[in-house]
């Protein structure tokens, strides 16, 4: 009987040990009190103007955390609506309150660049007013205050906007608006019997997406 009891005890110990090993390997089972969800309001930065962002930790390494983030910004402007949709990943170094943050991402931004074409050229036809629309590559580097267990988050960072793709097509716009394809001409027929004599500078008059290497961002957020 002693042998049977000892055998059962050993088997039970082995099963218990295996369960502990398995539980320790399941994602999300952790002894730390750190939280993974963050919401932030960004001014300038990766959205160009502002955006509300959600961030979630997808991997925790020894001394850093890898997060995925997505945001959305919207606002009415005098020459068209602003829309910003930044997405990307950031690496948060350190395990205390003060961190170096490195990130890579992309942003779809509409309405960042303004048109310098005179308003009288279009009359009241708002849909003919050109608006900037482009996709940007956005690397980031900055300082972040975040205690990792909940509460206030503050961040200041450098995030140049590097144009990847510009949706604005100057020739197509001139064809649609004036029925004329030569963008260097100073005479455009609007289709209503009126001809405007105005020389459009191809570099400055149109809302062409430009690289913004002097772009900085400020963030305030909360960790749940």
The CA distances from residue 52 to 56, 71, 75, 78, 222, in Å, are 14, 5, 12, 22, 12
Do 61 and 125 sit in the same domain of this protein?
yes
Asked whether residue 3 falls in the same domain as residue 69, the answer is no
Q: In 3D, which of 57, 76, 71, 63 has the Cα closest to residue 108? A: 71
Query: Does residue 26 sit in the same domain as residue 38?
Result: no
Domain containing residue 139: 33-168+206-223
Q: Are residues 156 and 136 in the same domain?
A: yes
User: Does 45 reside within a domain?
Assistant: yes
Does the residue 48 lie in any domain? yes
Question: Tens digit of pLDDT per residue, the chain (224 long)?
Answer: 444 445 545 655 555 554 444 444 444 434 455 689 999 999 999 999 999 999 999 999 889 999 999 999 998 876 678 999 999 999 999 989 999 999 999 999 998 887 766 655 555 545 556 778 999 999 999 999 999 999 999 999 999 999 999 998 877 777 766 664 444 444 444 444 444 444 555 555 778 899 999 999 999 999 99
Total count of domains within the chain:
2
Q: Clarify whether residues 12 and 93 are in a common domain.
A: no
What phi-psi label fits residue 46: left (phi over 0), alpha (psi between -120 and 50 degrees) or beta?
A: alpha
What would the two tokens of residue 207 be? 């809302």
* 202 close to 188: Cβ distance less than 8 angstroms: no
Whether 102 is covered by a domain: the verdict is yes
pTM of the model: 0.73
Q: Is 177 helix (H, G, I), strand (E, B) or coil?
A: helix
In a domain, 6, yes or no: yes
Residue 21 forms part of a structural domain: yes
In a domain, residue 163? The reply is: yes
- Coil/strand/helix, residue 15: helix
């Amino acid at each position: 009987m002693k042998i049977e009891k000892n055998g059962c005890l050993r088997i039970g110990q082995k099963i218990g040990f295996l369960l502990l090993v398995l539980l320790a390997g399941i994602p999300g089972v952790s002894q730390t009190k750190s939280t993974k969800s963050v919401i932030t309001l960004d001014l300038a930065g990766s959205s160009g103007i502002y955006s509300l962002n959600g961030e979630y930790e997808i991997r925790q390494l020894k001394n850093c955390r890898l997060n995925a983030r997505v945001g959305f910004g919207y606002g009415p402007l005098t020459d068209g609506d602003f829309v910003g949709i930044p997405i990307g990943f950031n690496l948060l170094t350190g395990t205390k309150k003060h961190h170096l943050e490195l990130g890579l991402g992309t942003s779809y931004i509409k309405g960042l660049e303004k048109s310098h074409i005179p308003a009288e050229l279009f009359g009241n036809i708002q849909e003919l007013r050109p608006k900037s629309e482009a996709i940007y590559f956005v690397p980031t580097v900055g300082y972040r205050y975040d205690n990792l267990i909940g509460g206030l988050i503050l961040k200041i960072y450098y995030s140049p906007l590097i144009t990847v793709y510009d949706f604005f097509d100057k020739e197509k716009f001139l064809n649609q608006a004036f029925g004329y394809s030569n963008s260097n001409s100073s005479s455009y027929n609007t289709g209503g019997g009126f001809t405007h004599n105005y020389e459009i500078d191809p570099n400055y008059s149109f809302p062409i997406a430009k690289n913004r290497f002097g772009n900085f961002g400020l963030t305030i957020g909360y960790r749940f």
